Amino acid sequence: MGISLKPQHLKRYQQIAWIFMKYGRSDLVKTTGLTEALAAEQRVPPQEAAKANELASDLEQLGPTFVKVGQLLSTRVELLPPPYLEALSRLQDEVEPFGFGEVEKIVSEELGVRLSKAFSHFEDQPMAAASLGQVHHATLRDGRPVAVKVQRPHIRERMVEDFEALGDIAEFLDAHTELGKRYEFCQLLEQFRRSLLQELDYRQEASNLTTLREKLRPFPRIIVPAPVADYCTSRVLTMEFVPGKKITELSSLAKMEFDGAALAEEMFRAYLEQILVHGFFHADPHPGNVFITPDYRIALLDLGMVGRIMPRLQEQLLQLLLAIAEGNGDEAANIAIKIGDRKEDFDSAQFTSRIADIVAREKSATVEQLQVGRLVLEVTQVAAESGVRVPPELSMLGKTLLNLDQVGRALAPEFDPNASIRRNAAEIMQQRLVRGLSPGNLFSGVLELKDLLARLPARLNKILDALSDNQFKVSVDAIDERTLIEGFQKVANRITMGLVLAALIVGAAMLMRVETSFRIWGYPGFAIIFFLVAAGGGIALLVNILFYDKSNRD
């Protein structure tokens, strides 16, 4: 029983089967029946023990879809051994540029005007060419220099066809192989497909540029080019031109002209804030996308790939990073377990022991050897091997931090990422608390409180009716009437106290909208007083519950 081969995808089947055979998965080829497709080309597979860099080269030859899939695979440490991950992370998608005639045609079609009408000057030779598109330097009619990214012709259609062929194989492997059931290739492929289709929509990248510029406004040493909205479509992205050099191209003499340690610290702090506060971050800050401008600022380019993290996961990631930075392996293991989903074959003791060994080894490393990103990736890999399914955001975080480690080393070889995490942890926690006290969250809490107050009388009536009709029942093993009455009195007192505190909060929220000259900390004075009284009463009630009740139990 094999996969049903579709004639239009035959060539891709052959190429994928060849990759499986070459890199040691001939069992999958036989299971799917792809030996038929492989035989059609009459190839003889070489030795199964191929070098990792050969895989990268083979993927480059298969075209842009497989280049991008390889780059995304480099972030999934649970799927491939470290040498392959390293080779795929260096995978280059630089290809021969397509002709200027095609560029002119695409830009004119997308913008709805001739190239000469939209730009006063447009370089016919691209500054850079990649598998998805290429970038040209140009000048707008108002004299502003811009960079114009133009999508490669027919690239979307080609990727759709490639993913159809990959989807056929993934579906079969998930249904008929243990490897597929373990790693769920269809789900993985769907994640890759969505990521690449978003990257093909340049309007999304323009939105990412705008969002990240706003998030990084407090960091004056970091630049994100602004998109030119009227000149952006799904296949053309026009943004301000930012001059500079890749940090990998800077000589040692050039690095002496600026404070590399300060730039590395600001870069790392900005990314920690993106990841752990805003939940929106540039997911591909490899050295090729990081430039140093003539005035010695950092420019972040190519925002096609971004990551998003939910608030709950942000808190867990912050705890994980702090545990790693402090060298606390047991705590790191416990947090990793909370982040992921445990499978049936999960071995908690073995997992904790392996994580503790990794963290302890990193703690003894020198500053030059420290790589917090690599450590996060190792934790992710051990989790996958030990039966914990971690969210893909953790792998993306590790890959992002690994790239940041490389950028930090390029700027300042002595940069210590763990020390940076410890230095910025308090500020990040403060910013998270401030975001939690935002007007939106406060009003949401007020609405929930209003709902509670609206429902509370009806619920109390039901309780009181049940008591008056002698229908209220309490199931206990032994009844001490005096203790029971005291307990009811305590409950009634606390309910009353809660209602008073709720009324103070609601009244304070309403007074916030009343203009008055009496102000405290810039806010209406009576509203702040009510909030403070409510906070004091709430703390007193909480202390009473935590300590008085505990002493009674003891």
What does the alpha-carbon distance between residue 502 and residue 495 come to, in Å, rounded to a whole number? 10
Same domain as 519, residue 495 = yes
In the three-class reduction of DSSP (H, G, I as helix; E, B as strand; rest coil), residue 376 is classed as: helix
List Cβ neighbours of 121 (8 Å cut-off, separation of 6 or more): 138, 139
The two tokens of residue 218 are 């407090």
Highest mean pLDDT among 38-42, 90-94, 313-317, 366-370: 313-317
Q: From the CB of residue 49, how many other CB atoms can be counted at a distance below 10 Å?
A: 7
Same domain as 182, residue 118 = no
| Model confidence pLDDT, tens digit, residues 190-199 | 888 888 888 8
At residue 349 the predicted structure's pLDDT band, cuts being 50, 70 and 90, is: confident
Q: Are 296 and 257 in contact (CB under 8 A)?
A: yes
Same domain as 295, residue 403 = yes
State the DSSP code for 258. Answer: S
Task: Give the residues across from 238 on adjacent strands.
Answer: 148
Burial (Cβ within 10 Å: 0-12, 13-18, ≥19) of residue 21: buried
Q: Is 460 inside a domain boundary?
A: no
Q: Is 464 inside a domain boundary?
A: no
Q: Is 506 inside a domain boundary?
A: yes
| Model confidence pLDDT, tens digit, residues 227-240 | 999 999 999 999 99
Q: b/e for 30-47, b at 16 or more Cβ within 10 A? A: ebbbbebbbeeeeeebee
Q: Is the pLDDT of residue 305 over 90?
A: no
Q: Is 127 inside a domain boundary?
A: yes
Same domain as 130, residue 64 = no
Last residue of a domain, one of 436, 465, 495: 436
Q: From the CB of residue 319, how many other CB atoms can be counted at a distance below 10 Å?
A: 17
Mean pLDDT of 96-113: 93
Q: Is 453 inside a domain boundary?
A: no
Q: Is 179 inside a domain boundary?
A: yes
Same domain as 107, residue 187 = no
Same domain as 522, residue 542 = yes
Q: Are 226 and 209 in contact (CB under 8 A)?
A: yes
Q: Which domain, by its residues, includes 515?
A: 477-553
At residue 26 the predicted structure's pLDDT band, cuts being 50, 70 and 90, is: very low
Question: Rounded to whole angstroms, what are the CA distances from 415 to 265, 286, 410?
Answer: 8, 17, 9
Same domain as 168, residue 121 = no
Q: Are 134 and 98 in contact (CB under 8 A)?
A: yes
What does the alpha-carbon distance between residue 369 and residue 353 come to, in Å, rounded to a whole number? 22
Same domain as 362, residue 322 = yes
Q: In whole numbers, what is the pLDDT of the chain averaged over residues? A: 78
Reported in sequence order, the residue ranges of 88-183 that DSSP labels E, i.e. its strands, are: 119-122, 128-129, 133-140, 145-151
Same domain as 205, residue 188 = no
Q: Is 458 inside a domain boundary?
A: no
Same domain as 68, residue 132 = no
Instruction: Determine how β-strand 280-282 pairs with β-strand 306-308.
Output: antiparallel
- Number of domains composing the chain: 4
